[in-house]
A = this chain, B = another copy of it.
Amino acid sequence: MNDWAWLGFDSTPVQLKKAERLFGQGAKVQRMHILVNGRVKLIRHPFDGEDVVLHVATAGEMIAEASFFSEVYHCSAIADLPSEIQCIDRNEALEKMLSDTRFSRNVMHLFAQQIRDLRGLHELRNIRSAQSRILTYLATQADSSGKIIVNMSLRDMAYKLGLAHETLYRELRKLETSGQLERPASGEIILRETLA
């Protein structure tokens, strides 16, 4: 999907099986990671209480970008699917950032992109109604023809949207019944125009 040539990787990517760990909370930050393929969950382990899913990284994302300037990771990274990850030494990356124009710009782009996505999600959560939250989200994901390829389970989508998965199922069904969307195949959703 993305072209990572600018990263100047010569090494082969790390391969992780499902449930394998890329790094653990508290570990020293020594590398920069780009998720080329697969899915990686970032988990925080609080002193008390149960684990919290901080984020689910999908293909093309930089993993734990926020930790890049920290000494140690504040969360663990665990493969949620078989994944392929490009690594680059932290110091090497920092150096490259100063010497290689394209590199630093691209990294910044990744950061900015991430911020915009997060703000979008935040904005989304301010929508109280489950139905319009879902519609708004789908609208942002759809291409010009209204088609959406869902590359995650509906459960994960529900989590991302901050809804109980049952609610997501129900609302999707309602929207389907009312003709506002179609689901020709699992993992595929088509939005129908409903201009007010």
Contact = CB atoms under 8 A, between A and B. Distances in A.
B119 A119 contact: no
A52 interface: yes
Contacts of A121: 122
A54 interface: yes
A173 interface: no
A108 B53 CA distance: 24
A159 B122 CA distance: 11
Interface residues of A, number: 36
B98 A54 contact: no
Interface string A52-74: 11110000000001111100001
A69 B114 CA distance: 12
A123 B53 CA distance: 8
A28 interface: no
A48 interface: yes
A101, A107, A115: residue with the most chain B Cβ atoms closer than 10 Å: A115
Nearest to A55: B119
A111 interface: yes
A112 interface: yes
A146 to B, nearest CB: 16
